[in-house]
Amino acid sequence: MNTFFNDLQGKINQALESTPAKDIQRNVKAMATQGFSKLDLVTREEFDIQTQVLAKTRAKLEALELRVVELEARLSAQAASSASTSHPETPAPTIILGKE
């Protein structure tokens, strides 16, 4: 009895495989696959990997930008500090006018 149902299922599947609708579906799928193969597309996996790489790169860039700002501020502070210590302002000489 079990083989009867297996045979019946096989015949039904075979009949469904040979219907015009199934042929059209196969042809459309083949044409779409051929058309997509001509395009420069990436897989979802490749896209996800590149998205992760971009996120890491963006995070590194932001960290480096902050570091540059900090280093520039430190350099400016050092330049201002060295300018004030190397050229101390001396008071202007006092001129005393006398009566002659």
Q: Residues 39-86: pLDDT tens digits?
A: 888 889 999 999 999 999 999 999 999 999 999 999 999 988 887 776
More confident residue, 8 or 82: 82
| Mean pLDDT (the chain, rounded) | 83
Sorted by sequence, the CB contacts under 8 Å of residue 45 that are 6+ apart come out as none
Residue 22 is which amino acid? K
Confidence of residue 87 (pLDDT cuts 50, 70, 90): low
Q: Region 21-28: what's the mean pLDDT?
A: 80
pLDDT at 31: 85
Q: Which two tokens stand for residue 67?
A: 């570091």
How many whole angstroms separate alpha carbon 10 and alpha carbon 32? 29
C-alpha distances (whole Å) from 77 to each of 16, 51, 64, 70, 92 are: 81, 39, 20, 11, 27
